[in-house]
Amino acid sequence: MKNFDFHAPTNILFGKNQLQQLPNVLEQYGKTVLLTYGGGSIKRSGLYDDIYQLVGNDAKIIELGGIEPNPRLSTVIKGVELCKENHVDVILSVGGGSTIDCSKAIAAGVFYDGNPWDFVVNDGIELTKALPIVTILTIAATGSEMNWGSVITNEETKEKLSFHTRLVTPKVSILDPTYTFSVPTYQTMAGSADIFSHLIENYFNQTTDTMVQDGIAEGLMRTVLHYTPTALTEPTNYEARANLMWASSLALNGLTGNGKTGVWSCHPMEHELSAYYDITHGIGLAILTPRWMEHVLNDDTVERFALYGHRVFDLELNEDLYITAKEAIQQTYDTFVKWGVPMTLPEVGIDASLLKEMAEQAVKHSSISKNAYVPLSADDVLAIYTHSLTPMTF
Amino acid sequence: MKNFDFHAPTNILFGKNQLQQLPNVLEQYGKTVLLTYGGGSIKRSGLYDDIYQLVGNDAKIIELGGIEPNPRLSTVIKGVELCKENHVDVILSVGGGSTIDCSKAIAAGVFYDGNPWDFVVNDGIELTKALPIVTILTIAATGSEMNWGSVITNEETKEKLSFHTRLVTPKVSILDPTYTFSVPTYQTMAGSADIFSHLIENYFNQTTDTMVQDGIAEGLMRTVLHYTPTALTEPTNYEARANLMWASSLALNGLTGNGKTGVWSCHPMEHELSAYYDITHGIGLAILTPRWMEHVLNDDTVERFALYGHRVFDLELNEDLYITAKEAIQQTYDTFVKWGVPMTLPEVGIDASLLKEMAEQAVKHSSISKNAYVPLSADDVLAIYTHSLTPMTF
């Protein structure tokens, strides 16, 4: 196990009606609130009105609505300006990963002297201060509600990159599973694919003496597999929505990744797809993951893939580990198919024309060619992209 | 899943040489430090000297050594007086659960107007302030390094009770697995039994729609089973010590218990044993756990016991769930036997004479007769105690 610094200080208020605690929560941070949200689903669901009813009298609320999926630098800059003009004390971020990620960049951008893109493109440069963030989560997916990362897209340069600073870890996140009852089928499956991918990315790692982290990941993967079909067919099933919601936060708050080494594989490849084509992140991950698995299966990795099949899909460990490993990869693919995920690139509007360029960018924007579980060259990435053009056969 | 409030803000600095960060850590809280520790093993190991070398010049260090296992109220009171006399800013607690629990009571006691036993015996009364606590963990066991609970023994009334306040959650805990290399065999197995028991207590619960929490518990239980034999035979095996150490913190920081209902079963029964006989807590738990399992196995609980066998011991799920369940209980017992735990009460100096009195106290000091997984009357507790007088047969 590698040395690590684990810090997930977000206070999670989980369950029905936890919104009632919002006035007490916000009061700790100040009276002027930047309310950030996305496309307006919170208005249709009534959550927007509930927020105003609870805190509208006591707080001055400034709004930044319309935050797009794959949140853009221009929106971040707009948010920073709003905060500075209005002397905002706290950001109340209501939505999913995109809204929260955008809010994180705004929170840090307010105290940064320069273009916020600087600290995204130079991840790790020292930031000294950020506005406190409180979130109300409305979709189980990215885990941004309980971690210190944020992914921002520069629409001009077509770059989608992440930055990290402990300063932007949300102070409090309200997780009421009923807010995810209205998440549409497509977003529900994309969210589950995203959670699953975070677990996969951490699970397949060169550091293997991490039974604690891996045991947690296995449990969370089983949870996602068990409850996603229920959430898709019975969107208001509380048990399913609750387990998926809590799994999303725990999949990416350090528990499954701390103590490991290297970098992720599928996320850097996917980030190019959604930077170029603005596709839904989780769907891109679902498409790439089983092709990546097939591509990196070899004598060094077969044991881990077999263990994955055993622990996550309850497969018997065959003496020939390749049999169990290949069955596990097929079951991964079949799972996404059964959920209803469009499992080829053409189905999400991506053809072969830019694959080579994106493959080169994936290698350029990350260190997957050196530090991934199995290092991936631009040619490897291109092969994985190319295999994603057509359905897999087993 | 029940509503819950999860908050585990402790910053964990995990791994070799993390002690080097101590000066920066303490600096945030002040210059006057109460150093708490137990029987002096930190002097033999050199950790005591290392601490003085790192912070002895900059900080004023007051010492409270000799904190006993099952820490006593009189020691808490002594610590409170030391803090008040010396205007202590921060408590540096170096040791295991006993030292940290004692430090928590001191931290809260400094700002409490009255005898600290008040807030132990009336768990939940409002406390307003506590000294910050930094811990350096030297044994994997109680999880106190990352939670808000503390168990204190009143030696006069023979009561061993716990109190809880978020105020005493450690700010920073340094977890260097090499500090546990010198933990003797008996304490290592007692620590592992304690971790395992925390997981068992949370796993067997009336709330069953908690696959996230249960999956995490299953993974941590597998980890304890896998690595304890290694730690016992190769005390300096880093991989084993690291996994046990991290498992100890995660077993009892809310991850496996939040979202559930009711109270624990074996801990209230064990607390009477160690209050009356001052036995090692983890050993008492190991003795009681399989007897308790056998006692509460019935048509309502058999499914959960079978699942436990399947997920934790990799048993095949027999069509007759009782077969799997009983096999799981036997394997639990056999595991402790193999570790070398003395598995009957007489072996730890307890005879039949006070069993009835302790059974009555267990029911009086807790709500196990109403709120346990399977409610336990004084007669039930007495039966479990009595079964613990002789070896189990299967």
pLDDT for A383 equals 98
Nearest CA in chain A to B258: A14
Q: What is the pLDDT along chain A (394 residues), one digit of tens a residue?
A: 999 999 999 999 999 999 999 999 999 999 999 999 998 899 999 999 999 999 999 999 999 999 998 899 999 999 999 999 999 999 999 999 999 999 999 999 999 999 999 999 999 899 999 999 999 999 999 999 999 999 999 999 988 889 999 999 999 999 999 999 999 999 999 999 999 999 999 999 999 899 999 999 999 999 999 999 999 999 999 999 999 999 999 999 999 999 999 999 999 999 999 989 989 999 999 999 999 999 999 999 999 999 999 999 999 999 999 999 999 999 999 999 999 999 999 999 999 999 999 999 999 999 999 999 999 999 999 999 999 999 999 9
* pLDDT for B158: 84
- Determine whether A105 is exposed, middle or buried from the number of CB atoms within 10 Å of its CB (0-12, 13-18, 19+): buried
Q: Based on the domain organization, do B247 and B295 belong to the same domain?
A: yes
> What percent of chain A is helix, strand and coil (3-state, nearest 5)?
55, 10, 35
Cβ of A12 and B6 within 8 Å?
yes
Q: Quick one: A124 and A212 in the same domain? A: no
Least CA distance to B18: which residue of chain A? Answer: A3
Q: What is the pLDDT of residue B247?
A: 98
Cα A241–A243–A245 angle (5° rounding)?
A: 65
Q: What angle do CA A347, A348, A351 make, to 5 degrees?
A: 80
Task: Indicate whether A105 and A228 sit together in one domain.
Answer: no
CB atoms within 10 A of CB A189: 25
In a domain, B105, yes or no: yes
Asked if residue B4 belongs to a domain, the reply is no
Closest CA–CA distance from residue A10 to any residue of chain B (Å): 7
| Shortest alpha-carbon distance between residue A202 and chain B (Å) | 15
- Judgement on whether residues B353 and B235 belong to the same structural domain of the protein: yes
Residues A206 and A73 in one domain: no
Residue B218 contacts A, CB cutoff 8 Å: yes
Cα Dmax for chain B: 67
On whether residue A39 sits in a domain, the answer given is yes
A374 and A232 in a common domain: yes
- Look at residues A116, A147, A179 and tell me which one is the last residue of a structural domain: A179
Q: Give mean pLDDT in consecutive 10-residue pieces for chain B, a chain of 394 residues.
A: 98 98 97 95 95 96 95 97 98 97 98 96 93 98 97 91 96 98 96 98 96 98 98 98 98 97 96 92 97 98 98 97 98 98 98 98 95 98 98 96
Chain B residues within 8 A of A211 when measuring between CB atoms: 219, 222-223, 226-227, 243
pLDDT of residue B70: 87
Burial A198-212 (b: 16+ CB within 10 A, else e): bbbbbbbbeeebbbb
Is A216 in contact with B219 (Cβ distance < 8 A)? yes
Closest CA to A286 of A204, A186, A219: A186
Give the distance between the most distant pair of CA atoms in chain A. Answer: 67
Residue B354, min C-alpha distance to chain A (Å): 40
* Partner-chain contact B220 A222, CB within 8 Å: no
- Name which of A2, A14, A255 is nearest B6 (Cβ-Cβ): A14
A-to-B residue pairs, Cβ atoms closer than 8 angstroms: 132
Residues 284-343 of B with CB under 8 A from A: none
CA-wise closest residue to B304 among B204, B219, B198, B196? B204
Q: Is A33 on the interface with B (CB under 8 A)?
A: no
Please give the structure tokens belonging to residue A169. Answer: 């870890």
The reply to whether A1 touches chain B by the CB within 8 Å rule is yes
Residues of A in contact with B7 (CB under 8 A): 9, 11-12
Residue with tokens 């989780």: A282
Q: pLDDT at position A70, please?
A: 87
Q: Which residues of B touch A214 (CB under 8 A)?
A: 219
Does the residue A392 lie in any domain? no
Quick check: B246 contacting A, CB < 8 Å?
yes
Closest CB to A212: pick one of B4, B5, B246.
B246
Domain end position, chosen among B155, B179, B203: B179
CB A173 within 8 A of CB A145: yes
**B212 closest CA partner among A336, A12, A204:** A12
Which of A4, A219, A247 lies nearest to residue B219, judging by beta carbons?
A219
User: How far apart are the C-alpha atoms of A47 and A19, rounded to whole Å?
Assistant: 9
Would you call B16 and A9 a contact, using CB atoms and an 8 Å cutoff?
A: no
Q: Does B202 touch chain A (CB under 8 A)?
A: no
What's the ipTM?
0.96
């899943």: which residue's tokens?
B1
Check if A243 contacts B (Cβ < 8 Å): yes
With an 8 Å Cβ cutoff, are B219 and A223 in contact?
Answer: no
pLDDT digits (tens, 9 = 90+) for A22-54: 999 999 999 999 999 998 899 999 999 999 999
Find residue B61's DSSP bridge partners: B33
- Tell me if A246 and B7 make a contact (CB, 8 A cut-off): no
Regarding whether B145 and B224 lie in a shared domain, the answer is no
Chain A residues touching B12 at Cβ < 8 A = 4-7
Query: For B4, which of A5, A14, A217 is closest by C-beta distance?
Result: A14
> Hey, of B212, B214, B314, which one would you mutate to test binding to chain A, going by the most A CBs within 10 A of its CB?
B212
Q: Is B355 found in the same domain as B274?
A: yes
Tell me if B5 is assigned to some domain.
Answer: no
Domain identity same for B118 and B54: yes
The pLDDT assigned to B243 comes to 98
Distances in Å between the alpha carbon of B73 and those of A163, A217, B152, B160?
48, 41, 6, 10
| Distance (Å, whole) CA A274 – CA A290 | 18
What range defines the domain where residue A206 resides? 185-387
CA distances from A187 to A69, A161, A334, A383 (A): 11, 22, 19, 28
Is residue A1 a part of any domain in this protein?
no
B15 in contact with A at a CB cutoff of 8 Å?
Answer: yes
In a shared domain, residues B202 and B345 = yes
Is the CB of A222 inside 8 Å of chain B's CB atoms? yes
Q: Which residue does chain A place closest to B239, by CA atoms?
A: A209
Q: Do A223 and B210 touch (CB under 8 A)?
A: no
Task: Give the number of domains in chain A.
Answer: 2
Examine the domain organization and report whether B28 and B167 are in the same domain: yes
Tell whether A161 and A251 lie within a shared domain. no
C-alpha B85: how far from its chain's center?
31
Domain with A260 in it: what CATH number?
Answer: 1.20.1090.10
- Residues from chain B that touch A255, judged by Cβ atoms under 8 A, are 250, 255
Rounded to whole angstroms, the Cα distance separating A68 from B138 reads 49
What is the least distance, in Å, from the CA of B309 to any CA of chain A?
A: 14
With an 8 Å Cβ cutoff, are B239 and A1 in contact? yes
- Of A179, A207, A239, which residue is a domain's last? A179
8 Å CB contact of B255 and A258: no
Chain A touched by B283 (CB under 8 Å)? no
Decide: B317 and B229 in contact? Cβ < 8 Å. Answer: no
Phi, psi of A71 (to 5 degrees): -60, 140
Q: What is the CATH number of the domain that holds A67?
A: 3.40.50.1970
Query: Cβ of A239 and B209 within 8 Å?
Result: yes
Q: How far is A175 from chain B (nearest CA, A)?
A: 10
- Minimal Cβ distance to B243: which of A3, A4, A211: A211
